[in-house]
Chains A and B, each alone.
Chain A
Amino acid sequence: MKITVKLIGSFVEAAGFGEREVDVPPGTTIAGLVELLAIESSRPMIITRNGRAFADGDTVVSGDRIAISPIYSGG
């Protein structure tokens, strides 16, 4: 199934893209998506869908737009 991944801040450099449509198997969890994208999972991050935070065990669904951002602190 297809989802859209929006990377923010330093994750753009790390993964080499800012926004991309990604094919993932059904049942993919947020933790699985991070692994699939080869993003270092130990880095502090916030993952949101539709303006709300995702937990590691939550699964993505077809058509999702997932934003993965470093933890900012508001300057």
Chain B
Amino acid sequence: MKGWIGRILRIDLTDKTFRTESFSVEFAHTWIGGRGFAAKILYDELAPGIDPLGPDNKLIVALGPISGISAPNTGKAVVAAKSPSTGGYGDGNLGTRVALELRKAGYDAMVVEGKADRPTMLLIEDDRVAFLPADAVWGRGTYDTNDWIYAGYGKGVGVLTIGQGGENLVRYAVVRSLEGRAGGRTGMGAVMGSKLLKAIVVKGTRPIPQADPEGMKQAGLGGLREVHRIDKESGWSVQSTNGVLAWCNEVAALPVRNFRKTSHPDAWKVDGERLNDARIATYGCPNCTMHCGIAMHDAEGRESELDYENVALLGPNLEIFDLPQVASLNYLCDDYGIDTMSSGGTLAFYADAIDHGATPGDFSFGDADGAKTLLSMIARREGIGDVLADGTRAAARRFGHGSDAYAMQIKGLELAAYNCKYIPGMALALGVSPIGAHHKESWIIMFELKETSRDSYGPEKAQKIIDLQRIRGGMFECIVSCRFPWIENGWPLDHYPVYFNLSTGLDWTLDDFWTVGDRIYALLKLFWLREHPQTDRSSDFPPAVWFDSTNADTEGPIAGLHLEYDKYDRLLQHYYDLRGYDQRGIPTMDTLRRLGLGAEAAGAAEFGRLT
């Protein structure tokens, strides 16, 4: 086998044991790597109904067949487990040197199970795995922890770590790396914390097997140069992802005041222009030549790395329009190791619930200092922070008094920073995301406005979502590469099969990746069905307030407009029909067999009804 190493590292924290497991060529070709490996392993090995924060959950770090190779944006890893925030499948990806080092150590993935008896750091060096005490950094933030690791092992190692949020089982705690990278907003940091696993450190020394090393070298280095060139030409990295903030504000798609408003006259104060003006440094992931991380000084003078999602959700969504203060909130989230997006969404929910009298409290929109205090309380589960640490859906259940109306989430995951009050296709994209309301699978707002109309609920939007899911949630999450060169700068997709084929010796086309993507999405539906046997199409609906005429904007481009329930329902059905899912949104037997999931279909009869 070329491209893949063919080995998975299995680690049991309870017994402090490890072993290497080989996988077959068929497994590699069926699931590719990254999300594909993670989905298959979790589906096969997790018992239904396990506590995601118990020892039976498994944390997976999965790479792909071009991970670690000198080609554009191959320094990313997928982290996955049963999600403590949604109760379903959860994953995320992040830029990390672990992507390079774990492959050089001789593994395509690692699976961590059980629970340590004390705070632990895993040190993986080729065939050696050491279970080291991490008491010295337990209770400390991710920046200190990262420094402690670098001081001991040098900066050449790959590091994954958690902060206090993960230790204290904040359900949206993330895994952190490289001091500015985070992944797994579905609570992957809490899964690490539940296992008393503070950090994973990896160093490898072996070559990564490739079918055509010389061809790969030429193509990879050429790609790195070309991606850099086109980015300089386009100017995308000048404002990076935060360029979209001003646009969302112009077209009434920005989350403001817990998504109640879609634009704000002060939004310019935190937009991409201001962020670029405040820039003190720029950071990227390993093997990246179009760096997206713009760092600035926060209100306390610390370096904080920002992007659109965290600015929008910790800024306008909290009605905070002071960029250094937003940077401070971002810094605290990063240091505590809690997701910036869900943190912003949860604080906005809390302010909204207080504002509407659903719960007592002294926090309000625009209160940056109050937000800082609350983030600390969340990370430590102190006072009201203990309630907010469980996310908006759970907190709304605790508060009662109709506060679920203020919980802006889908499947338990807080919304990404796109206010879809009147953007039906993007609302659907968030609704059918297999991990909850995240944007990485599909983002179609500009397509909707430019190529169709935001008034339309036409089937072309459902098809576009599937097209993007195959690329973004399918291919890129499986080969584990960053989508930015293609999606933001138009670097042709055809390059990725070339890299894949040079690495593996296969002769795949993009269509082969789409099939694998469809297979993974179908398997993830079965995962959700197994965890929630009563699941139906209602789980693919966005928050009810987007259908509520009393929540419509009172001024601006979409004044008086809102999503229409029946039309959204039909658009959802278009999506199901195109995917080969039934009325509940579950893949049919025929669909599962067509995708090579016959065995999974047969097994699914034990926990759910297939049509």
Contacts and interface: CB of A to CB of B under 8 A. Distances in A.
A53 B423 CA distance: 13
B557 interface: yes
A48 B454 CA distance: 12
A31 interface: no
Given A9-B235, A13-B238, A73 B252 contact: no
A13 B233 CA distance: 12
Contacts of A75: 241, 244, 307-309, 439, 443, 484, 488
A73 B447 CA distance: 9
Contacts of B309: 75
A14 B446 CA distance: 21
A48 B251 contact: yes
Contacts of A67: 246-247, 250-251
Interface string B428-443: 0000000000010001
Interface residues of B, number: 35
Contacts of B247: 8-9, 46, 67, 69, 72
B402 interface: no
Contact of B454 (A12, A43, A51): A51
Contacts of B128: none
A44 B236 CA distance: 12
Given A8-B250, A48-B251, A53 B235 contact: no
A48 B251 CA distance: 7
B250 A72 contact: no
B344 to A, nearest CB: 15
Contacts of A59: none
Contact of B250 (A12, A13, A51, A71): A51
A52 B488 contact: no
A3 B450 CA distance: 21
A52 B454 contact: yes
Contacts of A46: 247, 446, 449-450
A8 B250 CA distance: 10
Interface string B304-326: 00011100000000000000000
A10 B240 CA distance: 9
Given A10-B236, A72-B243, A51 B557 contact: yes
B445 interface: yes
A74 interface: yes
Given A9-B235, A9-B236, 12 more contacts: A9-B247, A9-B272, A14-B235, A44-B490, A46-B446, A50-B557, A52-B251, A52-B449, A52-B453, A73-B443, A75-B307, A75-B484
Interface of B: 234-236, 238-239, 241, 243-244, 246-247, 250-252, 268, 272-273, 307-309, 418, 439, 443, 445-446, 449-450, 453-454, 484, 487-488, 490, 556-558
Interface of A: 6, 8-10, 12-14, 18-19, 43-44, 46, 48, 50-53, 65, 67, 69-75
Instruction: Identify the 6 closest CB pairs spanning chains A and B, nearest first.
Output: A74-B443, A51-B557, A10-B235, A9-B243, A73-B487, A67-B250
